[in-house]
Chain A
Amino acid sequence: MARVVVDRLREIIRESLQEGKAAGVVAMKLLEGHPRPHLFTKADLKDVDALVVDETRYPLAAVLLKIRRKYPEARLGIVARGCDERAVIELVRNEQLDKELVVVYGVTCDKELAAYCKCPQPFPENPIVGDKAAPVSAREDLERIEGLGAEERLAFWMGQFGKCIKCYGCRNICPLCFCTSCTLDEEELTQTGTMPPETPIFHLVRALHMAERCIDCGLCEEACPSHIPLRTFYKKMRSIMETHFNFSPGMTKEGKGPFQYLGDGTFGTGEAG
């Protein structure tokens, strides 16, 4: 992001903190040559000089949620790219964040980053700085795999999941993996000294959990030491959601998600077309 644009952003954040529009703002800070998530507060306005927006992406919405859980009453800001904003939208929908207590300072991604991320929406709804780059379509990978026969497709995915080293980085980095308890951490369910769930159980269960949540940010795929094309996998979940429920996590702004309806018990009985 151009220097003059970042300077303008820093000015806006400094003003917001000074005027108390936000008690703190989650954004990236450049320190010791490594950009990292940080909470900027009124206590150190000079600190805002180190606020940066570059190509390094971290789950800022997850950091926001972590701080929110400790300070439920505070109004917190977030310098959000398109993906960060989509994460905030889903965290609000899933009642993890209170919309009234989140201030989004939208920033755009340039076209190089949009191309690298193959981003479906490289900008938030109302960016305060930066020009919007065009969305990048990235359905080729999914289409190529869907073009394979059932057996080949199964072999492909089993081969990919077989590479998993069970670091669970995909779960840990995910801004939408917000559960406070997880089967993988429950001593009653996954006992110390026993093997983790077999391939592909973990991957399939996680995909189901992600169906209503995955905002297609790609942080999981970036965090995967085994280069499993997780994003392509979750894209399939997203396309099912879109086709059958007309719902796209992070993109559908209002209303409940499909899993949030209890329904009347008739769904899936074969009665309806």
Chain B
Amino acid sequence: MDYKTVYTICPFCGSACGVLLEVMDGRIEGVLPCKTNPVSRGNMCIKGWSADEFIYSPERLNRPLLKKNGQLEEVEWGEAIEFVASRLKAIKTAHGADSIGALSSAKCTTEENYLFQKFMRTVIGTNNIDHCARL
């Protein structure tokens, strides 16, 4: 029997509300607003209140899928990355870097988001990069 809370930041937008994830026997069972967080002071929006729901969602992708003959199929990471890389390269060569855009996710870490914009600007060569936290 174990119940504790883990203090973190809501993954949804740039407001960075303080949240307490309720963890029971190693599984996240809910969210409470952190009342001592100086930014949010115990308030959250509906996204924050539901911030735990995506974690165990059966709809969540946990391995790469590639569409083959109109059907999504599970593939190895190597095959998925190779496919994406070759298509991006082909589109860039044919239509230019600014024909490509990317949307990053607030559910990734700050470091992942930094890497993604770096990839878009330096490898692809475009400023067409945005993020759901900037809505």
Contact = CB atoms under 8 A, between A and B. Distances in A.
Interface stretch (A31-39, A111-119, A126-134): A31-39
A41 B45 contact: no
B1 A38 contact: no
Interface stretch (B25-33, B73-81, B83-91, B108-116): B25-33
Interface in A26-50: 26, 29, 31-39, 41, 43
Given A58-B35, A167-B44, A225-B43, A36 B49 contact: no
A194 interface: no
A226 B48 CA distance: 15
A168 B49 contact: yes
Interface string A41-79: 101000000000000111000010011001100100000
A177 B43 CA distance: 18
Interface residues of A, number: 35
B54 to A, nearest CB: 14
Interface stretch (B2-10, B62-70, B95-103, B120-128): B2-10
B71 interface: no
A198 B57 CA distance: 28
A191 interface: no
A236 interface: no
B20 interface: yes
Contact of A41 (B2, B30, B33): B2
A32 B7 contact: yes
A106 interface: no
A165 B43 CA distance: 12
B37 interface: yes
A31 B1 CA distance: 20
B46 A34 contact: no
Interface string A157-181: 0000000011111001100000000
Interface string B12-36: 0000001010101100011011111
A125 interface: no
B42 A223 contact: yes
A39 B33 CA distance: 18
A224 to B, nearest CB: 7
Given A34-B37, A224-B43, A66 B49 contact: no
A38 B36 CA distance: 16
Contacts of A29: 4
Contact of B46 (A31, A36, A166, A223): A166
B35 A56 contact: yes
Nearest to A71: B1
Given A70-B24, A168-B49, A169-B33, A34 B7 contact: yes
Query: What are the 10 closest A-B residue pairs judged by CB atoms, nearest first?
Result: A39-B3, A225-B43, A36-B5, A167-B46, A34-B36, A167-B45, A36-B20, A172-B49, A34-B7, A67-B3
Interface of B: 1-5, 7, 18, 20, 22, 24-25, 29-30, 32-37, 42-46, 48-49
Given A26-B3, A165-B45, 6 more contacts: A34-B18, A34-B20, A34-B36, A41-B2, A168-B46, A222-B42
30 contacts: A24-B1, A24-B3, A26-B3, A34-B20, A34-B34, A34-B36, A36-B7, A36-B20, A36-B34, A37-B3, A37-B22, A38-B4, A39-B1, A39-B4, A56-B35, A58-B32, A66-B22, A66-B24, A66-B30, A67-B3, A74-B1, A165-B45, A165-B46, A167-B44, A167-B48, A168-B49, A169-B43, A223-B33, A223-B42, A223-B43
